Structures are given as C-alpha cells and as structure tokens.
C-alpha cells in the first residue's frame, strides 16, 4: 500500500464544482488536508464539491468524522457534496456510521458532476 503522508491534496475545478481527490488511506492527517482543500475551494467561490475516492483503499473513523465535518461546512456555505468512486467496503462503513444519509454517492466523477447538475436545475423549495 502506498501510504500518502504530507503530500498535497490534488484537486481541480469544473465550472463551480471542485473535484478533490482523497488518498489511499483516509485518516486524521489526510482528512484534514481534504478539509482544508475543500474550505479553500469554497472560499474561492465553488458551489459544489466532489470528493473522489478512487484511490482510497482504507478509511478510519476519524477520517469519516472529518468527512462529516466537510459536509457540515459545505451545507453552511450552501454547497452540495457528492462522493465519487467509493469502493463497496468503504460504502459499508459510511452506511454504518450514517454518512450516506447526508451525501450523494456517484459511481465516478462524471456521474457526480451530472448529479450536481441535476441539483442545480432543481428549484429550491421554501
């Protein structure tokens, strides 16, 4: 397993959607880096976040708690969050801890962006 420690989180923008790439192991350290990158993207004006878990093989509970924090932050900023390319084992953990109630899952990045387009075209109900 290639352990990611201290490397910068990769990301790029598609319109107002930021795609942020999680590393192979999601823990406190890498989770905080993702959180920092997400905050930066939101501060830069992004209105949606896609966190791509294609490389993620293992997650721990602290990493998951940080993801929940990111969802809170995005919610406060009025931004949507989609998790893309999450493997089955990780989905199982997200379900166990109730994360999937707060976030949409997509098979891959493209599907995530499409999902977000759908959100954006839906008028907000008050």
Partner 1 sequence: MSAADFNNRVLARVPRHDFVGRGDELDRIVKHANAQNGRGLLLLMTPSAGCSELLRQAYDQLFNQQSDVIPLYYAFTRHETTAVSAAIEFLQTVLQQYLAFRRKEPALCRAPITLEDVLELAPSSDLEWIEPLVKMYERIRFSNDNKALVRFCLGAPQRIPVRSGKAFVMFDGAQLADDLNGSVVLGAELLRVFGRSGQSFVLAGLRRQILDSARAAESNFELLDLFRLEQLSSEEAHSLVDHVALRSKVVLSREVRDLLVQQFDGSPFFITNFLQAARDRNIALNTYLDCERLYVDELLGGHINHHFTNLLEEMAPHIDKRVRLIRVMWEAAMSDEKSASVEGWRRRLEVEPAEFENTLHQLHIQEFVNWMGATVDATTGSQTWKDYLRAAYRLAIKADPRALVVAETITDSLKRAPNTMARHYKQSDRIDLRPVMGTFDCQRVPAVLFDYRAFSKTYKGMDEVELQSQIASEANLVKLPQTVHVASCYAFDSASRKAYEEERCVVAHAFEDGIYTDAQQTVWLVADLESKLEVDLDLAKSWFDRLDSLARQNDFQRYRIWLISNEGFDEPASDLLRQHEAFCSSKRQLEILIQQIGATLAVQPAPVEAADEFLMVVPMGEENELLAASAVEQIARRLTFPPQAINQIKTAIVEACINASEHSHSPDRKIYQRFRVESDKLVVTISSRGIVPTNVGSNNAHLSKQESSDAAAEERRGWGLKLIRSLMDEVEFQRVDEGTSLRMTKYLRTS
The residues of the shown chain that bind partner 1, judged by CB under 8 A, are: 1, 3, 5-6, 8, 25, 27, 29, 32-37, 39, 58-62, 64-65, 68, 88-89, 93, 96-97
- The distance of closest approach from Cβ of residue 109 to partner 1 in the complex, given in angstroms and rounded to an integer, is 23
**Nearer to partner 1 among residue 83 and residue 116 (C-beta):** 83
User: With contact defined as beta carbons under 8 Å apart, do 98 and 66 qualify?
Assistant: no
Q: Which residues of 89-121 are buried (b: 16+ CB within 10 A; e: fewer)?
A: ebeebbeeeebbeebbbbeebebbbebbeeeee
- The distance of closest approach from Cβ of residue 125 to partner 1 in the complex, given in angstroms and rounded to an integer, is 28
**Nearer to partner 1 among residue 12 and residue 28 (C-beta):** 28
- The distance of closest approach from Cβ of residue 124 to partner 1 in the complex, given in angstroms and rounded to an integer, is 25
The residue among 14, 20, 24, 13 whose CA lies nearest residue 90 is 24
**Nearer to partner 1 among residue 2 and residue 124 (C-beta):** 2
Are β-strands 58-59 and 80-84 bridged in parallel, bridged antiparallel, or unpaired? Answer: unpaired
């Amino acid at each position: 397993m290639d352990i990611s420690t201290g490397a910068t989180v990769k990301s790029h923008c598609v319109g107002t959607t930021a795609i942020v790439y999680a590393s192979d192991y999601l823990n406190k350290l890498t989770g905080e880096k993702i959180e920092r990158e997400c905050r930066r993207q939101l501060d830069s004006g992004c209105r949606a976040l896609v966190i791509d878990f294609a490389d993620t093989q293992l997650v721990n509970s602290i990493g998951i708690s940080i993801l929940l924090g990111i969802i809170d932050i995005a919610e406060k900023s009025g931004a949507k969050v989609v998790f893309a390319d999450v493997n089955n084992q990780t989905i199982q953990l997200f379900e166990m801890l109730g994360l999937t109630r707060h976030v949409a899952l997509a098979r891959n990045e493209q599907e995530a962006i499409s999902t977000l387009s759908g959100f954006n075209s839906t008028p907000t109900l008050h």
